[in-house]
Amino acid sequence: MKSTEKPPVIWLNSLLFIITFGVAVIGVPWYAFSHGLSTGLWLAMLGTIVFAGISITAGYHRLWAHKTYDAHWSLRILFALGGALAVQNSALHWSSDHREHHKHVDHDEHDPYSASRGFWYSHIGWMLREYQANRYHDYNNVKDLQQDPIVMWQHRNYLTLTLLTAIGWPMLIGWLLGDMLGGVLLVGFARLVINHHTTFFINSLAHIWGKQTYTDRNSARDNGVLALLTFGEGYHNYHHIFSADYRNGIRWWHFDPTKWLIRACSWIGLTRNLKRTNPYQIERARLEMALKKAQSTIGSRCADSMARIQAEYDALVERLREYYQLRKKLFDARAQALKDQMHWPTVAELQQQVTYLRRAVSAQKRYFMTISLA
């Protein structure tokens, strides 16, 4: 019989979250009304939120946990310092937990912050009690990161780095702006609470609120509102099926500043080997979800309609495959033409075929979506 007794409380974590939250929601407003907070402090808080947040999304998450790109040592040092400032454990520990989450998503026994156990547990509850006591951290799933001297330097010196950044930095800002207590309250406490809970939203809300655009094999959701709060991490359904992609928001209109930063850094040599998912796989996943939704809605009520939708789906997937194969031939022909001018006529012919197929695929896709959603 399974025991219903709750694990022991982790008092260090609990006190950290209780004290920082209490000071942020009571102490900061009181100080703001009674003493005032300068524009400089507000700007410093905003800048610190961005630095710590991006260090988690671009550093801890997309660089180290998922290895979606490679980064210059200078950028890795910045992310290591920003990660300590975010106070979310070392990059090694964070990445180990996160890889377990992806490997066992929604499975209560192995997923460290399984959303199937409810909002509170996945948001913060998993850190308040010894739920992971039986899981010894030998870091076997992050052996690759143990070869990174910067990751290991941060891991060994995490407490010192956290004290210097999370406490020392707000005090320095307050001293420079002539308001030490204001700096500690706003850049220290309020900033930390904001960084914590916006990150925690990805473990909780992003598995509850939003659309399952690409897969329904797990609880992850795509949510543009959460993307605004988390530097692009809100496109979580996409991320859980294509976690090796350095992007979370793949459309040009998707708000994903983490993606933009990684891409911009590649232009000046700070990042390289940016991994992207094959667009055919992305489109096929979207269409497969549309087919599933149609099957769920129509079911056995109208066998003829479902048979027509299935036939359109099969034809569209085949046409998509042809299109992306031809597009690859076009890219290869262009590369060859740069070396040998004799290949340019072939490029022109392939370009015409690609244009024709793209229009055909677009029309076929619109028709499929129309009948599947009818």
Report pLDDT digits (tens) over 219-272.
999 999 999 999 999 999 999 999 999 999 999 999 999 999 999 999 999 999
Query: What is residue 365's predicted lDDT score, i.e. its pLDDT?
Result: 87
d(CA 329, CA 207): 39
Taking only the tens place, the pLDDT of each residue in 60-98 is 999 999 999 999 999 999 999 999 999 999 999 999 999
Quote the percentage of the chain above a pLDDT of 70: 96
The two beta strands, 70-71 and 271-272, are antiparallel
Query: What is residue 373's predicted lDDT score, i.e. its pLDDT?
Result: 72
- Average pLDDT on 354-358 reads 90
- Which pTM value belongs to this model? 0.91
Query: What is residue 336's predicted lDDT score, i.e. its pLDDT?
Result: 83
- DSSP 8-state code for residue 300: T
Taking only the tens place, the pLDDT of each residue in 8-55 is 999 999 999 999 999 999 999 999 999 999 999 999 999 999 999 999
183: Cα separation from own chain's centroid: 30
Query: What is residue 62's predicted lDDT score, i.e. its pLDDT?
Result: 98
Where does the pLDDT of residue 297 fall: very low under 50, low under 70, confident under 90, or very high at 90 and above? confident
Lowest mean pLDDT among 71-75, 192-196, 202-206, 349-353: 349-353
User: What is the residue whose two structure tokens read 């299935």?
Assistant: 310
Quote the percentage of the chain above a pLDDT of 90: 75
Strand stretches in the chain, DSSP E: 70-71, 271-272
